[in-house]
Each structure stands twice: as structure tokens, then as C-alpha cells.
Amino acid sequence: MRGYVLFLRRPFAARLLGGTLLGRLPNGMGMLAVVLHVRADGGGYPLAGTLAAILGLATAAGQPVLGRAMDRLGQPVVLLPAACASAAGFVLLAATGAGPLPLSVGAVVLAGFATPPLEAGLRALWPDVLDGQEQVDAAYALDAAAQELLFTVGPLLVVAAAVVNTEAALLLTGALGIAGTLVVALSGPSRRWRGRPRAADWAGPLRSPGMRVLLLSLACAGIALGVYAVAVVAYAERYGRDLASGLLLACMAGGALAGGLVYGARPWAGEPNRRLPWLLAALAAGYVPLVLAPGLPAMSVLAFVSGVSLAPVLACSFALVDRLAPEGTVTEAFAWIVAAIGAGGSLGSFVSGIGQDVGGVPGAFAGAGAGGVLALVLCLLGARTLRPAPARPVTAEAAA
């Protein structure tokens, strides 16, 4: 754990990590807050689920756009207006409720699309704030592990606020986004950070073949996550235990937290592109046995094991982005990672529903294993593109 201690002692490191986690709590709160508010206002489950899905897709779509703007304009000038606009979307939904439909759809689109790209911005800051690649890798691992807390603490905050009313849950969601964004955007590293000059093309980081392969692989890992989130609900209904879904989600989050902490606690030799296939293989191996859907004690163990490789996969992928993203596109590249996982998660929710109809609870979980295996296959097929480009020799003209 020495690497974590050294990392957190660096100036601004704890502030940036804490502020980012605070500002990203809406990511774990928004969908549930939307569903509860629409249901409380008399809307049906189809409408509530559709608006929650629109919120997730709008968030995935907005991250690369705002990430590109940050690469060009800097962080505070993008983060602060985005956080205020996202909060305004939640306020509008609190005022309108389930209808009129155009207003409620517009509210969730605004709340999602304007979600400030704090996650991408933080990862762009780490190389400037920390001392050496070892500390950066530890930061990536702790970041990946800690984000599991967002999806544990966030829903609890929504439920607590909804005791007052569902409008309070939406307002709290927007307020926390602004608060965390202020902590990050007003810090010295965020105000000083500027993206490097980049080529004038629309593709940005997508012009890197390695980035495209990485995004596809992580989108498939996102499918596995989306499948799991829906399948545990089907599992709880099958066994008649309402708390089983929450327990299994917590077990997977605990596994991810433990795996991320262990992974980041030591330096790793070699390039991350060599580690990623092994980590994806472990991730797939953790998801495949879930199709057995045994009793709750055994299923809890399988759920924990399924999460152990998740944070290491993300941390290794973050390190790869530093090497694969074209010059001047690092924030947008990290934002694409967020978007790919989010889009995969939305597709996974759909896949799990179909699997449930076709094969019951085992069918619902089958998509998780399939997503993990597909992520590994795509990574292996594109392994050459994940190799970091060799450093260019420094010529006399370049040195001058």
C-alpha cells in the first residue's frame, strides 16, 4: 500500500480524487432518481425505464463532445457550465414530472448530455500532478476501484432523499454534481492544465487503431456489466428474496474494490498492452460461471469473484490510453472510454432482458459471460494495434 500513501501525499491528489468522486455521484444516482420521480408522478414503468435509458445514452454521447472541448479550451471553462446545465436538467425534470413528455425528455437529455466529464479530466491531470509512472498507475487503479463506491453510495442517497420527496432526490443529484465540479475546477492543476496541440480532424482519438480496438473491447465488457445489473433482479425474483439483488451488486462491487486495491498496490513490469489480454481473460472467467445461478451463498461468492478483475482491466486500459491517444486528444480519449462502457451497459440491459425471456435466470446471466469472452477475443484480434508506437528519434532540428 506504500504506493497509495505516496500518491495521496502529493499536492492536490486527495482533493482531485475526492472532488471527482463527489462530482460523479450523480452517475450512480441519476437513473434511480428519474425512475422514482416518474413513478411518484404517476408514470408507468415503461416511461420511467425509457427516460432512465435516455439519460444514460445522453451521458454517453456527451462525454466525448465535452472531452474534446476540454482538450481545446481547458477544464474550468467546460466543467463549470456543464455541471450547471446538467443540474438545470434535473431541476426541470423535478418541476415537470412525467409530463408533458417533450419537456421530460428534454430535461433528461440535458441532464445527461451536459454531465461534466470529471472522470476523463481527472485522468488527464494525473501525469502532471503525480511523480512518475508508478504513482500514475496507482492512481488509475485507486480511481477504478473507488468508482464502485459511486454505485453503492449513490442509490442510498437517492432513497434517503426520496423519503422527503422525489423532487429532493433530483435536486440533490444536481447539487452534488456542481459541488464536486467546483472542488476540481477551482484547483490549481485544473486551472493550469491545457491540452497539447492536435491535428485538425474530426476523428480525434478514434484515428488511432489501438484506441478503436480498446473501445470495442471495453464496450463488450460494458455489456457484461449491463447484463449483470438486470440479471441479479431476475435472480432475486426467482428465489423470492428482495434483498438478493442489492447483495449481489454489493458483492461484485466489493470484488472490484479489492481487485483494484491489490492491482495498484505494486508496480507491474512490462507494457500494459501485454497485461490487458490476461486481465480480460480473468474477467471473462469470472463472468461465465454466473450462468449456473446457484443458491445465494454460492452466488455471492461467484459475484465477488466476477468483480475482482474489473478494476484492474479499467486501470490497465487507462494506462494504455496514455500511450495510444494521438497528441492533444487525451481528455477526449478518456471520455470515449466512459462512453463505450456506458453504451455497452445499455446494450447489456437489453440483452439480459431477452435472455431472461428465452432462458430464465441462466439465460439472463449468459450475456455477461458472452460479453466478457467477446471483449477478450476483440483484444486478441487487435493485439498489434495496442502496442505503443516506438519513440521517434530526436533530430537536431527538433532539439533546437
Question: In terms of DSSP H, where are the helices of the chain?
Answer: 2-9, 13-23, 25-40, 45-73, 76-96, 101-113, 118-129, 133-162, 166-185, 188-192, 209-239, 244-264, 272-287, 296-308, 310-324, 330-381, 396-399
Find the mean pLDDT for residues 280-284: 95
Q: What phi-psi label fits residue 314: left (phi over 0), alpha (psi between -120 and 50 degrees) or beta?
A: alpha
Please, what is the angle between helix 133-162 and helix 2-9, to 10°? 80
The model's pLDDT over 58-78, given as tens digits with 9 standing for 90+, comes to 988 898 899 889 988 899 999
Q: Which backbone phi and psi does 384 adopt, to 5 degrees?
A: -65, -35
Q: Looking at the predicted structure, is the pLDDT value of residue 8 above 80? A: no
Find the mean pLDDT for residues 317-329: 83
Cα–Cα nearest to 253, from 293, 310, 298, 297? 310
| CA dist., res. 268 & res. 63, Å (int) | 30
- Higher local confidence (pLDDT), 265 or 87: 87
The model's pLDDT over 240-277, given as tens digits with 9 standing for 90+, comes to 766 777 788 788 888 888 888 888 777 777 788 899 99
> In terms of pTM, does the model score above 0.85?
no
Q: Looking at the predicted structure, is the pLDDT value of residue 397 above 60? A: no
Q: Which backbone phi and psi does 202 adopt, to 5 degrees?
A: -75, -25
Please, what is the angle between helix 76-96 and helix 45-73, to 10°? 160
Q: State residue 390's pLDDT score.
A: 55
The model's pLDDT over 172-208, given as tens digits with 9 standing for 90+, comes to 999 999 999 999 999 999 999 887 766 556 677 888 8
Q: Which residues contact 161 (CB under 8 A, 6 or more apart)?
A: 33, 168, 169, 172
Cα–Cα nearest to 3, from 214, 399, 268? 268
| CA dist., res. 340 & res. 130, Å (int) | 27
Q: State residue 172's pLDDT score.
A: 95
The model's pLDDT over 334-367, given as tens digits with 9 standing for 90+, comes to 888 888 888 888 788 777 777 877 888 888 889 8
Per-residue pLDDT band at 137 (split at 50, 70, 90): confident
Q: Looking at the predicted structure, is the pLDDT value of residue 90 above 70? A: yes
Q: State residue 291's pLDDT score.
A: 92
C-alpha cell at 263: 492491482
| CA dist., res. 63 & res. 114, Å (int) | 8
| CA dist., res. 325 & res. 356, Å (int) | 38
Find the mean pLDDT for residues 282-288: 94
- Lowest mean pLDDT segment, chosen from 14-28, 70-84, 330-344: 330-344
Q: Which residues contact 33 (CB under 8 A, 6 or more apart)?
A: 90, 158, 161, 162, 166, 169, 170, 173
- Say if residue 128 is exposed, middle or buried (CB neighbours under 10 Å; 0-12, 13-18, 19+): exposed
Alpha carbons within 13 A on the beta-carbon side of 290: 39
Cβ atoms of 290 and 369 closer than 8 Å = yes
